[in-house]
Amino acid sequence: MQSPVRDSPVRPGFHRTEVQKTIWDVPDRYTALRAVGSGAYGTVCSAMDQKTKEQVAIKKLYRPFQSLIHAKRAYRELRLLRHIQHDNVISLLDVFTPDSALEKFQTFYMVMPFVAQDLGRIMKKKRLSDRIITYLFYQLLRGLKYIHSAGIIHRDLKPGNLAVNENCELKILDFGLARQTESEMTGYVVTRWYRAPEVIFNWMHYSQTVDIWAAACILAEMLTGTVLFQGHDSIDQLNKILHLTGTPDSSMVKKMQSKDAQSYVQGLPSQKKKNFKEMFPTMNEKAVSLLEGMLLLDPEKRLTAKQGLAHPFLTEYHDPDSEPDSELYDDSFESLELDVGEWKSLIHMEIMTFDPKNPGKTAM
Overall average pLDDT of the 55-61 stretch: 94
Give the model's confidence band at 364: pLDDT under 50 very low, under 70 low, under 90 confident, else very high.
low
- The answer to whether residue 174 is domain-embedded is yes
Same domain? 257 vs 135: yes
Say what the pLDDT of residue 176 is. Answer: 52
User: Does the pLDDT at position 81 exceed 50?
Assistant: yes
With b meaning 16 or more CB within 10 Å and e meaning fewer, what string describes 303-317?
A: bbbbebbebebbeeb
- The answer to whether residue 140 is domain-embedded is yes
Which amino acid type is present at position 307?
Answer: Q
**Residue 60 known to bind ligand:** yes
User: Per mean pLDDT, which range of 33-42, 209-218, 225-234, 348-357 is the poorest?
Assistant: 33-42
Distances (CA, A) of 181 to 14, 211, 213: 39, 12, 16
User: Does the pLDDT at position 185 exceed 80?
Assistant: no
Same domain? 234 vs 277: yes
Give yes or no for a contact between 88 and 172, defined as CB atoms under 8 angstroms apart: yes
Say what the pLDDT of residue 38 is. Answer: 77
Same domain? 149 vs 101: no
User: Per mean pLDDT, which range of 83-97, 109-123, 174-188, 236-250 is the poorest?
Assistant: 174-188
Overall average pLDDT of the 100-124 stretch: 92
CA distance 297 to 301: 8
- The answer to whether residue 364 is domain-embedded is no
Same domain? 104 vs 156: no
Same domain? 163 vs 227: yes
Averaged pLDDT score across all residues of the chain: 89
User: Per mean pLDDT, which range of 3-17, 148-162, 262-276, 341-355 is the poorest?
Assistant: 3-17
- The answer to whether residue 214 is domain-embedded is yes
Same domain? 26 vs 68: yes
Overall average pLDDT of the 146-166 stretch: 93
Q: Give the total number of structural domains in the chain.
A: 2
Give the model's confidence band at 187: pLDDT under 50 very low, under 70 low, under 90 confident, else very high.
very low
Overall average pLDDT of the 59-86 stretch: 92
Say what the pLDDT of residue 4 is. Answer: 56
Same domain? 90 vs 172: no
- The answer to whether residue 12 is domain-embedded is no
User: Does the pLDDT at position 188 exceed 50?
Assistant: no
Give the model's confidence band at 9: pLDDT under 50 very low, under 70 low, under 90 confident, else very high.
confident
Overall average pLDDT of the 125-137 stretch: 95
Give yes or no for a contact between 350 and 82, defined as CB atoms under 8 angstroms apart: yes
CA distance 128 to 223: 8
Chain centroid offset of residue 277 CA: 30
Q: Sheet of 22-27: strands edge to edge?
A: 2-4, 14-19, 22-27
User: What are the tens digits of pLDDT across the range 313-341?
Assistant: 999 999 999 999 999 999 899 899 999 99
Same domain? 187 vs 248: yes
User: Does the pLDDT at position 205 exceed 50?
Assistant: yes
One DSSP character per residue, 100-162 reads -SGGG----EEEEE--S-BHHHHHHH-PPPHHHHHHHHHHHHHHHHHHHHTTEE-----GGGE
**Residues paired with residue 162 on neighbouring β-strands, in sequence order:** 172
- The answer to whether residue 363 is domain-embedded is no
Same domain? 30 vs 171: no
CATH number at 40 reads: 3.30.200.20
Same domain? 50 vs 131: no
User: Per mean pLDDT, which range of 164-168, 175-179, 250-254, 348-352 is the poorest?
Assistant: 175-179
User: Does the pLDDT at position 118 exceed 80?
Assistant: yes
Say what the pLDDT of residue 192 is. Answer: 86
Same domain? 55 vs 189: no
CA neighbours within 13 Å on the CB side: how many for 250? 0
Annotated catalytic residue within 49, 94, 118, 156: 156
CATH number at 262 reads: 1.10.510.10
Same domain? 261 vs 299: yes
Domain span including residue 347: 2-6+17-114+335-352
Q: Taking phi first (over 0 means left), then psi (-120 to 50 degrees means alpha), and beta for anything else, what does residue 245 get?
A: alpha
User: Per mean pLDDT, which range of 4-13, 147-156, 192-201, 276-285 is the poorest?
Assistant: 4-13
156: annotated active-site residue: yes
